Amino acid sequence: MTVNRIMSWKEYRKLTLEYKPETIYYSRDPHPLRKPPWGLKLIFYHGFNGYVFTDYAEGNALHKTKIPIRGMNEKEIPLLVEDIKSFLHSQIGRINVSPIWFVS
């Protein structure tokens, strides 16, 4: 299994449209060097290969995708699931979007 780290949203979108995965998985992750300190991982699989795109907060939106940052309460994750799904559906089309958690 190969994990491919995709740096640009444009390239990641191109790959999803080419490979047509059934599901894109997302993870809202801490990113301590950003304000607010959150980021987003988008992952899909094609065969035995995984494709990972990482974005990070920059002010009131994510830097690469421009998904809005909301709920600035310190106890809340400021990336709303509805915003992630809405963005992916508008950019890629109707696709399953599911959370993924990494156990350490």
Q: What is the reported pLDDT for 80?
A: 86
Tell me the whole-structure pTM to 2 decimals: 0.88
Domain annotation covers residue 104: no
- pLDDT mean over 68-92: 84
Over residues 66-93, mean pLDDT: 85
pLDDT, one tens digit per residue, over 31-76 is 888 878 889 999 999 999 999 999 999 888 999 999 998 866 656 6
Number of neighbours of residue 98 by Cβ within 10 angstroms: 12
Q: Cα dihedral sign for 60, 38, 22, 50?
A: positive
Is residue 38 domain-resident?
Answer: yes
Q: Between residues 28 and 71, which one has the greater pLDDT?
A: 28
Gap between the Cα atoms of 66 and 77, Å rounded: 16
User: Is 11 inside any structural domain?
Assistant: yes
User: Is pLDDT at 103 greater than 60 in this prediction?
Assistant: no
Please check whether residue 48 lies inside any domain of the structure: yes
Task: Identify the domain containing residue 73 by its residue range.
Answer: 2-99
CATH number at residue 29: 3.30.720.90
Instruction: Tell me the backbone φ, ψ of residue 61, rounded to 5 degrees.
Output: -155, 165
